[in-house]
C-alpha cells in the first residue's frame, strides 16, 4: 500500500486531497497546525484505519516514521486577509516548511508535489498566463509574503530536483472554490455568499472590472492527482480558463441566491491583480486534463454547502490571536 503525507490536511484543498487519496487506496498521513485549517474538514476520516493525523507546524523539523512514497505540501494560509494577519508564518511555511519537507522527501526517497500558485505571476502583464511567464510581482507589498514564499518554494524545489535528483512536481493553482472554504477568510466566493445569506449588500472591490477564473475543487484535485503521477517535473498551471469580471460574478451570485441584495463598491486592495486566467495547454497536453465542472454547477454545490452550515457560523468573526504564530 502506497503511503502519502499531505500537509495542510485540515484546510480546503488539503482535506479534499485526503479524501481523494483515501479513495484511491492510499495510506494517508494528514498534517496541519490548524492556524487556518479546521478539524471539521477531516473528522469523517478519523475512524478509518488508513488515515492518521499529526498536529504539527511544518515550519519546524518534520518527522514521519516508516516509509513514505509521496508528499503533497499544501500547508499555507491562502487568502489575502490571512497574509495580513499572519505574514511571518505565511513566509515561514512556504520557505522553511518547504525546505523541511524536501529534506524529508530526500531522506525517504519520496516524490514531492508542492502547491504553488498563480500569485507567482503577480499582477500579470501577459494574458492568459502561460508557465513561461516570469511575472510582475511586488516583493514588499501586502501579498509579497505569500508571493515571494511561493516563488522561493519553486526555486528550492527545482534546486533539490537538479542538485539531489529528487522527484519533484510543481502545481500552479489558480482560484479554486467549493465546499469547505472558510466562510470568513475574505476570499470573494465565501464573502459574497456569506453576504447574501446574511441579507447584506455584496461588496465589490474597485470598479469590479478585474477578472478571475474560478475552478471547481473536484477538477483541481483531479489535475493535482494526475500531475503527481505524471513524469513531468516543470510547473503546470491547474485552473479553469473561463474568465469573468468580479462585477459580473457578483450579479451571478445575486441570481444564484435568489436574494435582492444590492452590489456596492469599496476601494480596491493594494496590488489586487487586474486580470487572471490560466493558459492550460500544458495540463491538457501532458496530463490530458481539463476542467469538467461549469461555474453554474460548481457554484450551486458550493452555495448549498454554505447554506447547510449552522446559522451562527454566518455571524462568527475570527478572533484568533496570531501573535504567537508570527513570533515563534
Residues with active-site annotation: 146
Q: Taking CB under 6 A as the rule, does residue 137 contact ligand UDP?
A: no
Q: Taking CB under 6 A as the rule, does residue 175 contact ligand UDP?
A: yes
Q: Taking CB under 6 A as the rule, does residue 210 contact ligand UDP?
A: yes
- Cβ proximity to ligand UDP, 167 vs 272, nearer residue: 272
φ, ψ of residue 113 in degrees (nearest 5): -115, 125
Within residues 264-293, the interface with ligand UDP by CB under 6 A covers 269, 272
**Kind of pairing, strands 70-73 and 243-245?**
unpaired
Taking the C-alpha atoms of residue 251 and residue 202, their distance in angstroms, rounded to an integer, is 9
Taking the C-alpha atoms of residue 235 and residue 117, their distance in angstroms, rounded to an integer, is 10
Per-residue x/- track, 74-93, ligand UDP (CB under 6 A): -----xx-------------
* Smallest separation, CB 299 to ligand UDP (Å): 14
Q: Taking CB under 6 A as the rule, does residue 98 contact ligand UDP?
A: no
Within residues 217-256, the interface with ligand UDP by CB under 6 A covers 246
- Contact pick of 152, 205, 305, 322 for ligand UDP (by CB under 6 A): 205
- Contact pick of 204, 221, 238, 253 for ligand UDP (by CB under 6 A): 204
| Residue 190 in grid coordinates | 465565501
* Smallest separation, CB 94 to ligand UDP (Å): 15
- Contact pick of 85, 108, 212, 295 for ligand UDP (by CB under 6 A): 212
For residue 113, give the nearest of 68, 80, 82 by alpha carbon. Answer: 68
For residue 117, give the nearest of 181, 171, 185 by alpha carbon. Answer: 171
| Size of site (CB under 6 A) for ligand UDP | 15
Helix or strand holding residue 32 (H, E): strand 27-32
- Contact pick of 180, 187, 282, 295 for ligand UDP (by CB under 6 A): 187
Long-range contacts of 305-310 (CB under 8 A, 24+ apart): 305/178, 305/179, 305/180, 306/183, 306/190, 306/193, 306/194, 306/197, 307/197, 309/183
φ, ψ of residue 9 in degrees (nearest 5): -65, -25
* Smallest separation, CB 60 to ligand UDP (Å): 27
For residue 325, give the nearest of 94, 88, 96, 149 by alpha carbon. Answer: 88
- Cβ proximity to ligand UDP, 167 vs 201, nearer residue: 201
- Cβ proximity to ligand UDP, 28 vs 181, nearer residue: 181
Taking the C-alpha atoms of residue 94 and residue 147, their distance in angstroms, rounded to an integer, is 9
Binding interface with ligand UDP (CB under 6 A) = 79-80, 175, 186-188, 191, 203-205, 210, 212, 246, 269, 272
Amino acid at each position: 500500500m502506497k503511503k502519502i503525507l499531505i500537509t495542510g490536511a485540515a484546510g480546503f484543498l488539503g482535506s479534499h486531497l485526503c479524501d481523494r487519496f483515501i479513495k484511491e487506496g492510499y495510506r494517508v498521513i494528514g498534517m496541519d497546525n490548524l492556524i487556518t485549517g479546521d478539524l471539521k474538514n477531516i473528522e469523517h476520516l478519523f475512524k478509518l484505519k488508513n488515515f492518521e493525523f499529526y498536529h504539527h507546524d511544518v515550519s519546524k523539523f518534520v518527522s514521519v516514521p516508516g516509509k513514505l512514497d509521496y508528499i503533497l505540501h499544501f500547508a499555507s494560509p491562502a487568502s489575502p486577509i490571512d497574509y495580513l494577519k499572519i505574514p511571518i508564518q505565511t513566509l515561514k511555511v512556504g520557505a522553511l516548511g518547504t525546505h523541511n519537507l524536501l529534506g524529508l522527501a530526500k531522506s525517504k526517497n519520496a516524490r514531492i508535489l508542492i502547491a504553488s500558485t498563480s500569485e507567482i505571476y503577480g499582477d500579470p502583464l501577459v494574458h492568459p498566463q502561460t508557465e513561461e511567464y516570469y511575472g510582475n510581482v511586488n516583493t514588499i507589498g501586502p501579498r509579497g509574503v505569500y508571493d515571494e514564499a511561493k516563488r522561493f518554494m519553486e526555486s528550492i524545489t527545482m534546486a533539490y530536483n537538479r542538485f539531489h535528483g529528487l522527484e519533484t512536481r510543481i502545481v500552479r493553482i489558480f482560484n479554486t472554490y467549493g465546499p469547505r472554504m472558510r466562510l470568513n477568510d475574505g476570499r470573494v466566493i465565501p464573502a459574497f455568499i456569506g453576504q447574501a445569506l446574511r441579507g447584506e449588500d455584496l461588496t465589490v472591490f474597485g470598479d469590479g472590472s478585474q477578472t478571475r477564473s474560478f475552478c471547481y475543487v473536484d477538477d483541481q484535485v483531479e489535475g493535482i492527482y494526475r500531475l503527481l503521477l505524471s513524469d513531468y517535473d516543470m510547473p503546470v498551471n491547474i485552473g479553469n480558463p473561463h474568465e469573468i469580471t468580479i462585477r459580473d460574478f457578483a450579479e451571478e451570485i445575486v441570481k444564484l441566491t435568489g436574494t435582492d441584495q444590492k452590489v456596492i463598491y469599496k476601494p480596491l486592495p493594494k496590488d489586487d491583480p487586474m486580470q487572471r486566467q490560466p493558459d492550460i495547454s500544458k495540463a491538457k497536453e501532458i496530463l490530458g486534463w481539463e476542467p469538467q465542472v461549469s461555474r453554474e454547477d460548481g457554484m450551486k454545490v458550493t452555495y448549498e454547502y454554505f447554506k447547510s452550515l449552522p446559522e451562527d457560523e454566518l455571524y462568527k468573526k475570527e478572533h484568533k490571536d496570531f501573535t504567537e504564530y508570527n513570533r515563534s
